Amino acid sequence: MFNLLKLHGSLSWELDGSDLVSFSVRLQHIKEVAGKALSADHLVDIPDGATIATLVSALGGKIADAATDAFMDAYEKLLIVVNPTKEKFKHTLMNQTYYELLRLYSNELEKENTVLFAMGFSFADEHIREITVRAANSNPTLMVYVIAYTSESKVQIEAALGTNTIRNNNVEIVGPEQEDDGHGRLVDKFTYDFSTINDKFFAAVLHSVDEAN
């Protein structure tokens, strides 16, 4: 049995009447919001380590205008977005769809002989990370494979998950193969985009399933 769960990234969620569609094929609501995009004059860069004081200083006298109001109105009315803030968990409790996805994810990881393939995710999200690490520590039959886009992201994911503290040694971070660039430096031979992941991982899984049948 295979479960495909998209836990991170609610931008594709769309309301269809009173129902919430967790992945909109049309993405029309995104197109409508994008049509009200703000110019660079309305935007402020938010670097790592930014504080309220530095952001206020960066504003440089910028003020909201009609374009800003139109964008924010469309953002709040058309997009079902779980914003990346410390308050997110409070919102997830109120958001039945997201809560149910997290519950399903947690329950599946507790089952015997489960294999998790995670891709396109840094595990910087503390709620998903905590569920995953807790399951890896409590379920010795679980195997977790995290596919990192680059070797650099592999290092970052290893740090986020604390792989050296996983007691069952059942989490493996997979990064791209590397080669010498001719100047004594190792560089990635490829990146793990979705197409490469399919070719190198799931095609082999599918082949094994076909052979078993």
pLDDT of residue 94: 46
Q: Is 51 or 63 the better-scoring residue by pLDDT? A: 51
- Mean pLDDT lowest among 23-27, 41-45, 171-175, 192-196: 23-27
d(CA 124, CA 140): 23
Mean pLDDT, rounded, for 30-34 = 84
Decide if pLDDT at 169 tops 90.
yes
User: What is the per-residue pLDDT for 26?
Assistant: 78
Contacts of 185 (CB under 8 A, 6+ apart): none
The pLDDT tens digits of the residues spanning 116-129 come to 999 999 998 888 99
Are residues 141 and 168 in contact, defined by beta-carbon separation less than 8 angstroms? no
In the Cβ-directed half-sphere of 59, how many Cα atoms lie within 13 Å?
10
119 - beta bridge partners? Answer: 147
In whole angstroms, what is the distance from residue 9 CA to residue 204 CA? 28
Amino acid of residue 17: G
Q: What is the pLDDT of residue 82?
A: 63
Cβ contact 186:178 at 8 Å: yes
Collect all residues with Cβ–Cβ distance below 8 Å to 88 and sequence separation of at least 6: 82, 127
* pTM listed for this prediction: 0.71
- Band (pLDDT 50/70/90 cuts) for residue 148 is very high
- pLDDT computed for residue 92 by the predictor: 46
Select the more confidently predicted residue: 183 or 97: 183
Torsion sign over Cα 15, 16, 18, 19 = negative
19-33, 73-87, 109-123: least confident range: 73-87
AA identity, residue 118: A
| CB-count burial class (<10 Å; 0-12, 13-18, 19+) for 156 | middle
Q: What confidence score (pLDDT) does residue 86 get?
A: 55
pLDDT of 144 higher than 50: yes
Q: Find the mean pLDDT for residues 156-181.
A: 94
Mean pLDDT of 57-71: 84
For 191-212, what is the mean pLDDT?
90
What mean pLDDT comes out for the span 51-72?
85
pLDDT tens readout for residues 85-120: 555 555 543 467 778 888 999 999 999 999 999 999
